[in-house]
Structure 1
Amino acid sequence: MSNLPSDFSNRSEPLDALRGLAILTVIARHYFEFKYGMLGVDLFFVISGFLIGGVLLDDREQPGYFSSFYGRRAFRILPLYWLLLLIVPPDHWGHYLFFMQAKPWLQFGYPLTEPTFVTWTLAIEEQFYLILPMLIYWLPRRWLIRILWSGVLLAPAWRWLFHAYLPDHSWEFLLPGRLDELFGGVLLASYMRGYCRSPVAWAILACVPPICDVAYATMVGPFSFLSIAAFACCIIVWAGANMERTVLLRPFIWPGRRCYSLYLFHMVVLDIFLFFDFGFYAGFVALPIVCILAEISWHVIESPLINYAKGRFAKADAATIRIAGAV
């Protein structure tokens, strides 16, 4: 997910609120069986592409480009993630340690009921973090945009292939099948920075994956309309990035800024109350507790590490990241 609160000083309240909305829909799916909770994951991926891509585009000419990015990401992501693995050690934990959990999943099946299974989104994010900085740093602008659009346009085909030849749900949990969301977010960031020569051509290209998914579902049979969700989430993120008034979104800002710990630990807390047979009420009891734990985590673990990383590693000029907000 970029289910990650900021480690920069300048924040975008609308995008924080969108992250809050995303994490709340995910929690609502797991706690209260909200049917459309997976849309929160789609929104997270687009936000991640938009914010991470924007920061990297702004910082590509700065010294310490790779060290500053990976240093800040490591201090932001790894401590809390490894803490989760210590609290609830999963099978094949060595693969989890390096975000390679998809390898045993493909061999032994997807552990949908394990609390650490939520880390599939984080594994996708980390793989995305490995490739995007290199693409932005080494590719000329023209080729970068071509590669990004290729990822977006090919994402439906990857999902169809995974659905046909890999175990169930593989199309949903592997990076290539999510490139229209992640690269779509990066393209939004590129557009805001003047990388687009023809808005009409970009608009036409953006419509191709949803049309392909509809055509595939019509001819072959029922299948995911993930491209439509990606398209809709891109519109939502675009609107949030250009929003000035945030009064209606303010209730979502707090969960947006605490969403990383909410995301990692909400299933652990829920499973505790399910174990003690709280049944229908488990979600209602677990929700305030996981919120309290997220606030404690922010002040005791996350914020001190973020502040250390900001002092230890160079960061992008604050003026250049004003558009994108915080990651």
Structure 2
Amino acid sequence: MSSLRSDSLTRSEPIDALRGVAIMAVIARHYFQFKYGMLGVDLFFVISGFLIGGILLDGREQPGYFSSFYGRRAFRILPLYWLLLVIATPEHWGYYLFFMQAVPWLQFGYPLTEPTFVTWTLAIEEQFYLILPVLIFWLPRRWLIRALWAGVLLAPVWRWLLHAYAPDLSWEFLLPGRLDELFGGVLLACYMRGYCRSKIVWGSLACVPAICDVAYAMAFSPFSFLSIAALTCCIIVWAGANMERTRLLRPFLWPGRRCYALYLFHMIVLDVFLYFDFGFYAGFIAFPIICIMAEISWRVIEAPLIGYAKTRFARAQQPAIISTAGAV
């Protein structure tokens, strides 16, 4: 792909910039009540499926497939995540250590106002990391594609069932309800590696969950349009991965490459200023502070650990498409 420049890990500026767009949308939602900011989470999940799926697809035949992937993921995710738990000390923190916070949440309710609630996305990501490497490693290509499409097509069904029989909002905050975004991103990575035999069939299948969401809303009541968001985000990621000119996206490169710390700690910083009753101005004051913190985190913690993990869990050079320092 001519739009993707290669280094030892083949970075993609457009994809990094899209992550910047995603994190800015999330922060705008929490800091400035931007109505559509949570679409940034949908974009994050699709990007994560695209990037992680690409890494695993390219490395499936290489020695150290599992150790390389999980070693790098651990050094990327765990240090800052555990630092957040030390600072915020959430209730039921023992579950958080192993990304099982959904267990007490299902029992006692979703703590929407706690700063550590943002970790619901990381819990979903970690569960995704347990499933996807096994699927890619063990399944032949044909069955892998079928399994991925099954996850995408069944995602609306899971959301309907969770909405009907699980505690409120479970459809939004548990892994089954997000499979069309995560597996959709992986399918996009497969598509860009030539796994698609029929563009018409894939395009038709991609529209099915969105049509189901619309039909359900018309027949019963407005509920969830996550499948439409998933399809839209897949189109955005595909366009970004094929983008030749990135000038308009360059302002988002910095937040895209600092998005992990921005995401994890932005609510803690905001809550400090809300606690001291800054009211309307809390978001405007908190924003430059969280940006400074993210830059310090990158230079002092994240970049050194990522560099160490690259050396410690080195893998063979891949000619393939995209990998970045980490996905949120």
User: Same fold judged by TM-score > 0.5?
Assistant: yes
Alpha-carbon deviations, 1:72-121, whole Å to 9, x = none?
00000000000000000000000000000001000000000000000000
Name the TM-score, length of structure 1 as normaliser: 0.96
Within 5 Å, which residues of 2 pair with 1:1-327? 9-320=9-320, 323-326=321-324, 327=326
Instruction: Measure the CA separation in 2 of the matches of 1:8 and 1:143.
Output: 30
Instruction: Measure the CA separation in 1 of the matches of 2:318 and 2:147.
Output: 28
Does the Cα contact within 8 Å between 2:84 and 2:265 map onto a contact in 1?
Answer: yes
Does the Cα contact within 8 Å between 1:55 and 1:316 map onto a contact in 2?
Answer: no
* Cα 1:90–1:98 shift into 2, 3 Å: same
Alpha-carbon deviations, 1:283-302, whole Å to 9, x = none?
00000000000000000000
The DSSP-based 3-state class of the residue aligned with 1:62 is coil
> Partner amino acid for 1:106?
L
Does the Cα contact within 8 Å between 2:26 and 2:41 map onto a contact in 1?
Answer: yes
Instruction: Measure the CA separation in 2 of the matches of 1:290 and 1:195.
Output: 41
Alpha-carbon deviations, 1:22-62, whole Å to 9, x = none?
00000000001100011000000000000000010000000
Instruction: Measure the CA separation in 1 of the matches of 2:84 and 2:246.
Output: 33
Question: Residue 9 of structure 1: CA displacement?
Answer: 3.8
The DSSP-based 3-state class of the residue aligned with 2:319 is helix
Question: Residue 224 of structure 1: CA displacement?
Answer: 1.0
Does the Cα contact within 8 Å between 2:9 and 2:322 map onto a contact in 1?
Answer: no
Question: Residue 219 of structure 1: CA displacement?
Answer: 0.7
Instruction: Measure the CA separation in 2 of the matches of 1:76 and 1:221.
Output: 41
Instruction: Measure the CA separation in 1 of the matches of 2:8 and 2:302.
Output: 13
Instruction: Measure the CA separation in 1 of the matches of 2:261 and 2:64.
Output: 28
Instruction: Measure the CA separation in 2 of the matches of 1:280 and 1:14.
Output: 33
How many residue pairs match? The answer is 319
Does the Cα contact within 8 Å between 2:58 and 2:318 map onto a contact in 1?
Answer: no
Does the Cα contact within 8 Å between 2:8 and 2:317 map onto a contact in 1?
Answer: no
Question: Residue 314 of structure 1: CA displacement?
Answer: 2.0
Question: Residue 318 of structure 1: CA displacement?
Answer: 4.2
Question: Residue 183 of structure 1: CA displacement?
Answer: 0.2
> Partner amino acid for 2:130?
L
Instruction: Measure the CA separation in 1 of the matches of 2:65 and 2:86.
Output: 32
Question: Residue 315 of structure 1: CA displacement?
Answer: 2.7
* Cα 1:8–1:103 shift into 2, 3 Å: farther
Instruction: Measure the CA separation in 1 of the matches of 2:209 and 2:222.
Output: 16
Runs of 4+ residues over 6 Å off in structure 1: none
Alpha-carbon deviations, 1:229-277, whole Å to 9, x = none?
0000000000000001100000000000000000000000000011111
* Cα 1:8–1:254 shift into 2, 3 Å: farther
Instruction: Measure the CA separation in 2 of the matches of 1:235 and 1:56.
Output: 21
Instruction: Measure the CA separation in 1 of the matches of 2:31 and 2:316.
Output: 38
Question: Residue 316 of structure 1: CA displacement?
Answer: 4.6
Question: Residue 11 of structure 1: CA displacement?
Answer: 1.2
Instruction: Measure the CA separation in 2 of the matches of 1:278 and 1:202.
Output: 50
Instruction: Measure the CA separation in 2 of the matches of 1:153 and 1:316.
Output: 34
Does the Cα contact within 8 Å between 2:45 and 2:182 map onto a contact in 1?
Answer: yes
> Partner amino acid for 2:322?
A
Does the Cα contact within 8 Å between 1:46 and 1:181 map onto a contact in 2?
Answer: yes
State the percentage of identical aligned residues: 81
Question: Residue 12 of structure 1: CA displacement?
Answer: 0.4
Question: Residue 222 of structure 1: CA displacement?
Answer: 1.2
Instruction: Measure the CA separation in 2 of the matches of 1:318 and 1:219.
Output: 49
Does the Cα contact within 8 Å between 1:58 and 1:316 map onto a contact in 2?
Answer: no
Alpha-carbon deviations, 1:138-179, whole Å to 9, x = none?
000000000000000000000000011111110000000000
